[in-house]
Amino acid sequence: MTEIAENLERVQARLAKACEACGREAADVELMAVSKKKDVDTVREVVQAGQLLLGENRIQEVLIKQPELPSAIRWHLIGHLQSNKVKHAIHCRFECIHSVDSVKLMHALNKEAGEQGIVQNILLQVNVSGEGSKFGIAPDELFPLLEEAAGCMHLNVEGLMTIPPVSENPEKAGPYFKQLRELRDQAALETGFALESLSMGMSHDMEVAIREGATMVRVGTDIFGARAK
């Protein structure tokens, strides 16, 4: 078994254990392998180990990797998306784009998805802490953005995504994950959107995110090893 396959098994076991600890079904939390900055051969290893859900943060990288790798891969975009890359982004046929954080970007994606004849699944990225990541909407911008989304016939808003401020202590992320879940609960109650997906938790804090309701964790380092700076 390759090192990456072993790492993958270890992370899958952590996911299962974290679910068990809080009384959730392991099947209700999906594992995304974040393959950014990893070359095609490395990515192929994780795919051969059975991991088909992959996250990338740059369109240019996806355009290079996609033709080289199996078509069964479920690509997700998790990095910031610039409006001038929207055409390529839609062309990549991501199963989901996690980083939608403005009305302008949403309208651009909707228009392009319409032109390419698809419905694009998206998540809205929320910066719950107001610090850390400079991307993502403030919590009070969520309702207005959802109102706009209601008119975007070529977008399907599946839920919310967040990146908490970096901290050594994974428990520090807990309150931010909880805030995202509560924001979702409130929005689901008051709008027509179910917002079932909560994309939160990375290598060092996936257990905390699962406890707070994550439906998808995004794990890079603990599957592939450290990335080049």
Ligand X SMILES: *Cc1c(COP(=O)(O)O)cnc(C)c1O
Q: Which residues bind ligand X (CB under 6 A)?
A: 34, 36, 57, 78-79, 163, 202-203, 218-221
| Closest distance to ligand X from the beta carbon of 134 (Å) | 13
Inter-residue contact 78 to 35 (CB < 8 Å)? no
| Closest distance to ligand X from the beta carbon of 142 (Å) | 18
Q: Which of 171, 170, 192, 189 is nearest to 181 (CA)?
A: 189
| Closest distance to ligand X from the beta carbon of 221 (Å) | 3
Nearer to ligand X, 173 or 219 (CB): 219
Radius of gyration of the chain, Cα coordinates, nearest whole angstrom? 17
Cα–Cα distance, 221 to 204 (Å, whole number): 9
Nearer to ligand X, 213 or 220 (CB): 220
Q: Which residues on adjacent β-strands are paired with residue 120?
A: 155
Q: Which residues on adjacent β-strands are paired with residue 160?
A: 124, 198
| Closest distance to ligand X from the beta carbon of 23 (Å) | 25
| Closest distance to ligand X from the beta carbon of 157 (Å) | 18
Could you write out the DSSP letters of every residue in 146-186?
HHHHTT-TTEEEEEEE--PPP-SSGGGGHHHHHHHHHHHHH
Nearer to ligand X, 91 or 204 (CB): 204
Nearer to ligand X, 54 or 163 (CB): 163
Nearer to ligand X, 36 or 178 (CB): 36
Nearer to ligand X, 86 or 223 (CB): 223
Cα–Cα distance, 216 to 229 (Å, whole number): 25
| Closest distance to ligand X from the beta carbon of 4 (Å) | 14
Select the residue whose beta carbon is closest to ligand X and give its number: 220
**What is the DSSP code (8-state) at residue 228?**
P
Angstrom CA distances, 204 to 30, 117, 169, stand at 16, 39, 9
The label of the residue with tokens 């309208």 reads: 107
